[in-house]
Structure 1
Amino acid sequence: MSDSDSRNDLRMPDDDEVFAVVTDMLGANRVKVRCMDGKDRTARIPGRMQKRVWIREEDVVLVEPWDWQDEKGDIAWRYEKQDADQLRREGHIQ
């Protein structure tokens, strides 16, 4: 089975999460993301991810927008490159 034939079961967004692409690194554990609901948000990298998961520009992530401030959110998950490619192939993200 070739690499393109294999399909991983990926973590999909919960009701309060949205796919996003990292557009800019802001420093201080913050990144600028372009969400698939059409909004640009400032997202925090939570402490549990800071040293374990490296986030770079163009990474595909799941963002949980804040209830009280819609232009901000928290990063909930980062997809590996091959998983992000699979999401693009399946039409979940542009």
Structure 2
Amino acid sequence: MPKNKGKGGKNRKKGKNEADDEKRELIFKEDGQEYAQVSRMLGNGRCEALCIDGTKRLCHIRGKMHKKVWIAAGDIILVGLRDYQDDKADVILKYSRLMESYRRIRG
């Protein structure tokens, strides 16, 4: 039986680009968007988040982020508000710890 010489399976070969976070600019909210903090994860690509405006919303994690960007309770996210459903929103972006500290400094 041959000796394993690699460092992992097919997921490692896909090449996760960790350096991408450092180059990314800080994205601020626009019209129809709001900052929120995840209060709990619900499963099936959904979470419950408390928005800055004081509303608790059911948020849907969009397909581009699903299983690529891991979201946990306590994370700061940017959500897109829905015109036709006030109690639901879509997760647009997850702010990393580096971005959160930058936002606190800049005010």
* Smaller-chain TM-score bracket: 0.7 to 0.9
Q: Report what 2:96 is aligned to.
A: 80
2:27 is the counterpart of 1:11: yes
TM-score, length of structure 2 as denominator length? 0.72
What does 1:25-44 align with in structure 2 at a 5 Å threshold?
A: 25-44=41-60
Q: What do the CA deviations read for 1:45-91 (whole angstroms, capped 9, x no partner)?
A: 01111021111111100011111110000000001012112223444
Question: What are structure 1's unaligned runs of at least 5 residues?
Answer: 1-7
Which piece of structure 1 moves more, 78-87 or 68-77? 78-87
Structure ranking higher on relative contact order (CA contacts 8 Å, 6+ apart) = 1
CA distance in structure 2 between the aligned counterparts of 1:31 and 1:87, rounded to whole angstroms: 23
**For this pair of structures, how many residues does the alignment match?**
84
Q: Which amino acid aligns with 2:41?
A: M
2:32 is the counterpart of 1:22: no
Tell me which of 61, 64, 67 is aligned to 2:80: 64
CA RMSD of aligned residues (A): 1.4
Q: SS state of the match for residue 84, structure 1? A: helix
User: What fraction of aligned residue pairs are identical, expressed as a percent?
Assistant: 36
Per-residue deviation at 1:9? 4.6
Question: What are structure 2's unaligned runs of at least 5 residues?
Answer: 1-23
The runs of at least 4 consecutive aligned structure 1 residues that moved more than 3 Å come to 88-91
Kept in 1, the 8 Å contact 2:35–2:77? The answer is: yes
Per-residue deviation at 1:10? 1.0
